[in-house]
Amino acid sequence: MLAQDLFSPIEPYESGRLALDDQHSMYWEVSGNPTGRPIVFLHGGPGAGAGPDHRRFFDPRHYRIVVFDQRGAGRSTPLGGLENNTTPHLIADMERLRDHLGIMRWHVFGGSWGSTLALAYAQAHPERVSALVVRGIFLGSEAEIDWFLYGMARIFPENWRNFADAIPEDERGDLMTAYQKRLNDPDPKVHLPAARAWSMYEGSCSTLLPSPQTVAAFGEERHALGLSRIEAHYFEHQVFLEENALMKNLNRIRNIPAVIVQGRYDMVCPMETADALHRAWPEADYMVVPDAGHSAMEPGIRRALVAATERFKGVE
């Protein structure tokens, strides 16, 4: 493997579905080394789901790579399911999966919303976390959610107009309510256009340079519906965490080896949040990628994330 690249594509050697309650079933998979050091990948969104490339941040000769789709996302069912779907539920799901796979401790790796969940999980169960790699920091504050809904218009006005134009003009003062109404409408002719508008807005703002491939992927029906419905649900409820909770509870994870990776020009999760986290948590290494936006697939972000997982090979 070249130092600057992802590892070669691999397939899972084990996968399954875990019944979480009478409604939700969670897809999971394991790849890499069956006797290797466990590491779990937490996808973004919330609601975005995981994909094959997400296995490639980790050396498959060294790591036992656990990937799963969070409640309502990706291959988990029901797609876009909102009932019993909160941050505490997701933390409990991780513990259920860890126990199901017979893992005592694992490295935790997450970006964007995955960074939120990684921090929340580690603070709830620090004894289960060997190391943390978090990228594109999002802490779930009202200011961050407001930036997503309105602030990105300052940098991407044309993309924001596409997002806002999916809503009648007289409802644009409260985009959250307007989108929730449409995303949760049972008629696909109503919820699918809204889902695509929401998801493609995020995708179009996620890279430093325009990436039609990224936008197209965000516009795919299943991805758009899972991402938009669950993301709006979490945003409406301030991601089911008390304001500033993750900053207040940093003492619980100060002794865990950690790396924060942040793109300088991340417009979805601006780096002032990562900077604040770094200042409050100086024990974590902080890597600012000078030529990157938000996406984990930005070349500089990719290199920094692989470097972090390589570095933590020696952590038990």
In a 3-state reduction of DSSP, which class is residue 247? Answer: helix
- Whether 270 is covered by a domain: the verdict is yes
User: Is residue 192 located within the same domain as residue 270?
Assistant: no
Of the candidates 43, 54, 51, which has an alpha carbon nearest to the alpha carbon of residue 116?
A: 43
Asked whether residue 47 falls in the same domain as residue 167, the answer is no
Cβ(199)–Cβ(254) below 8 Å:
no
Given a cut of 90, whether residue 5 has pLDDT beyond it is no
Do 43 and 114 fall into the same domain? Answer: yes
Residues 47 and 135 in one domain: yes
Same domain? 158 vs 170: yes
> 110 and 26 in one domain?
yes
State the DSSP code for 180: H
Contact call for residues 141 and 156 (beta carbons, < 8 A):
no
Are 108 and 171 members of one domain? no
Residue 156 φ then ψ, to 5°: -125, 65
Q: Which domain holds residue 164?
A: 143-238
Last residue of a domain, one of 238, 258, 284: 238
Q: Does residue 3 have a pLDDT over 70? A: no
What is the rounded distance in angstroms from the CA atom of residue 253 to the CA atom of residue 249?
A: 8
Point out the domain boundary residue: 238, 260, 286.
Answer: 238
Question: Does the pLDDT of residue 218 top 70, yes or no?
Answer: yes
Concerning whether 185 is annotated as a catalytic residue, the answer is no
- Distance, in Å, from the CA atom of 263 to the CA atom of 136, rounded to the nearest integer, reads 7
The verdict on 26 and 130 lying in the same domain is yes
**Last-in-domain residue among 215, 238, 261:** 238
Does the annotation mark 125 as catalytic?
Answer: no
Catalytic residue (one of 69, 266, 278, 295): 266
Q: What is the mean pLDDT of the chain?
A: 97
Q: Do 205 and 159 touch, CB atoms closer than 8 A? A: yes
Check residue 4 and give its pLDDT.
Answer: 53
CATH assignment at residue 296? 3.40.50.1820
User: What is the DSSP secondary-structure string of 196-237?
Assistant: HHHHHHHHHTSSSS--HHHHHHHHSHHHHHHHHHHHHHHHHT
Active-site residue among 76, 112, 199, 204? 112
- 294 is annotated as an active-site residue: yes
230-255 tens-digit pLDDT: 999 999 999 999 999 999 999 999 99
Percent of the chain's residues with pLDDT above 90: 98
pLDDT tens for 266-290 read: 999 999 999 999 999 999 999 999 9
In a domain, 244, yes or no: yes
The one catalytic residue in 69, 206, 294, 295 is: 294
19 shares a domain with 129: yes
pLDDT of 2 > 50? The answer is no
Please indicate, yes or no, if residue 309 is contained in any of the structural domains: yes
pLDDT band at 293 (very low <50, low <70, confident <90, very high): very high
Pair (148, 125) in one structural domain: no
Domains: count for the chain: 2
Residue 50 lies in a domain: yes
Checking if the pLDDT of 91 tops 80, the result is: yes
Same domain flag for 120 and 150? no
Gap between the Cα atoms of 191 and 243, Å rounded: 30
* 8 in any annotated domain: no
Phi, psi of 227 (to 5 degrees): -60, -55
User: 295 and 226 in one domain?
Assistant: no
Beta bridge partners of 260: 134, 286
**Is residue 3 situated within a structural domain?**
no
SS (H, E, C) 119-167: HHHHHHCHHHEEEEEEECCCCCCHHHHHHHHCHHHHCCHHHHHHHHHCC
Give the sign of the dihedral formed by CA 110, CA 114, CA 116, CA 121.
negative
Residue 287 in any domain: the answer is: yes
Residue 316 has pLDDT above 90, yes or no: no
Q: Is residue 9 part of a domain?
A: no
pLDDT band at 1 (very low <50, low <70, confident <90, very high): very low
